[in-house]
Structure 1
Amino acid sequence: MTTEREKMLAGELYLASDPELVQARASARDLLRQYNQTSQAELSQRAEILKQLLGAVGEQAWIEPPFYCDYGSNLFLGRGVYLNFNCTVLDCNTVHIGDNAKFGPSVQIYTAYHPVDVAARLAGPELAAPIRIGQNSWIGGGVIVCPGVTIGDNTTIGAGSVVTKDIPANVVAVGNPCRVLRSLDS
């Protein structure tokens, strides 16, 4: 038997109202409330909460509160990752952020999406697609990364960009929709 959680992570239509998923989101929100209420003096408490909340937290990874996510357990941070204030990760599918990736404030990562067909959307099930952000990337403030996107290693995404399609490694990309501006290989 396939659970709604398994369907969600497989990129299939699933019901977010499933009791297991509702409970998982409630648990994440409790941990997020605790995390977001800590003070700068409670660094060890923050690190412990992130270990409980996230799928993986690499050494020296850090998230500035406030921070928001759906499940937490589907978010995997590499070593030295830094997420600035007010980042939101809808981790209904996996989000892998490579070593030394840096995010500006208010970055939004959305794995969740809904059917385009109105009847299917009104029926209730939704979808989610994984996101991968390469190592050593810089994601500027206010960037939105859409479902199913991969951003390559060493890439810079300009502030305010909306990333709707994969962006290769070693480039600077900007805009809405985000497009490659120049290569960093030269």
Structure 2
Amino acid sequence: MIDMGDDERAVLERIGQGLLYTESEASFQAPLRRADLIFEYNRTRPGDAAGRRALLERILGSVGARTVLNSPFHAGFGSNVHIGDDFFGNVNLTFVDDVEIRIGNGVMIAPSVTLTTTGHPIHPDLREDFRRFSEPIVIEDKVWIGSNVVVLPGVRIGYGAVIGAGSVVSRDIPPMTVAVGVPCRVVRPISADDLKNRLAPS
């Protein structure tokens, strides 16, 4: 836990409202960063399952059972990431977790995906001292995110949704839909017909 005064609490309240804050104002959160542990995790042997699991439990805010997170992965903090059971994250997964990223059960994420809770103002005069805003990301159960997807601040991806490769997700995606594109848009619902997809002939 961080020992906070009134000024720090005021900054956290502003962050929680999605308002702008600066790097200097947020510097009191530095002890929550897990950069050294992430560095260590990314250099563990793939076969050292117990060692990798122990490190993940120290890095992440919470982590479920049967989690696979391939190296390397990157995170601003690590401690603001919460992952459910039966998670698979492929290589080069990046969490920009200035605020919480919550990932449900049975989620699969392909290579080179970025989940970013943080953005910056459009006007350059507002970007002094790395001024930014942050909004949490929620990925519900059984979502599949394709390669090279970027999920932007404040987005919720609904249960069972599929996000096509290369998409930029800037708005919420409803459950049980396929969405793709820049910006990412729903192209169709997921239906019982998809149960037959790529099955061997009977």
Calculate the TM-score normalised by the size of structure 2.
0.85
Q: Which residue of 2 aligns with 1:21?
A: 29
Distance across 2 between alignment mates of 1:2 and 1:135: 37
Work out which of the residue numbers 163, 177, 182 in structure 2 matches 1:176.
182
Please tell me whether the aligned partners of residues 108 and 144 of structure 1 are also in contact (alpha carbons under 8 angstroms). yes
Please tell me whether the aligned partners of residues 8 and 92 of structure 1 are also in contact (alpha carbons under 8 angstroms). no
Q: Confirm whether residue 139 of structure 1 aligns to residue 145 of structure 2.
A: yes
Larger radius of gyration between Structure 1 and Structure 2: 2
Distance across 2 between alignment mates of 1:88 and 1:96: 14
Q: Which residue of 2 aligns with 1:11?
A: 18
Please tell me whether the aligned partners of residues 151 and 166 of structure 1 are also in contact (alpha carbons under 8 angstroms). yes
Q: Identify unmatched segments of 5+ residues in structure 2.
A: 1-5, 193-202
Query: Residue type matched to 2:172 in 1?
Result: D
Distance across 2 between alignment mates of 1:151 and 1:180: 11
> RMSD of the TM alignment (CA)?
1.6
Please tell me whether the aligned partners of residues 16 and 22 of structure 1 are also in contact (alpha carbons under 8 angstroms). no
For residue 62 of structure 1, report the CA deviation from its aligned partner.
Answer: 1.8
Cα deviation code 1:122-146 (max 9, x no counterpart): 3542111110111000000111001
Please tell me whether the aligned partners of residues 22 and 129 of structure 2 are also in contact (alpha carbons under 8 angstroms). no
Distance across 2 between alignment mates of 1:183 and 1:78: 25
For residue 115 of structure 1, report the CA deviation from its aligned partner.
Answer: 1.6
Cα deviation code 1:28-87 (max 9, x no counterpart): 110011000000121111101110010110111221010000111110001111110110
- Mean alpha-carbon deviation: is it higher for 39-48 or for 120-129? 120-129
Query: Residue type matched to 1:13 in 2?
Result: L
Calculate the TM-score normalised by the size of structure 1.
0.92
Please tell me whether the aligned partners of residues 24 and 71 of structure 1 are also in contact (alpha carbons under 8 angstroms). yes
Please tell me whether the aligned partners of residues 67 and 87 of structure 1 are also in contact (alpha carbons under 8 angstroms). yes
Distance across 2 between alignment mates of 1:183 and 1:51: 36
For residue 120 of structure 1, report the CA deviation from its aligned partner.
Answer: 1.7
- Mean alpha-carbon deviation: is it higher for 80-89 or for 15-24? 15-24
Distance across 2 between alignment mates of 1:5 and 1:37: 33
SS, match of residue 138 in structure 2:
strand
Q: Which residue of 2 aligns with 1:158?
A: 164
Work out which of the residue numbers 111, 117, 120 in structure 1 matches 2:117.
111
Q: Compared with structure 1, are the counterparts of its residues 9 and 70 closer, same or farther at alpha carbon in structure 2 (3 Å cutoff)?
A: farther
Distance across 2 between alignment mates of 1:21 and 1:126: 15
Distance across 2 between alignment mates of 1:19 and 1:123: 11
- Mean alpha-carbon deviation: is it higher for 119-128 or for 146-155? 119-128
Distance across 1 between alignment mates of 2:72 and 2:129: 33
Q: Confirm whether residue 53 of structure 1 aligns to residue 42 of structure 2.
A: no
Query: Residue type matched to 2:59 in 1?
Result: L
For residue 8 of structure 1, report the CA deviation from its aligned partner.
Answer: 3.3
SS, match of residue 50 in structure 1:
helix
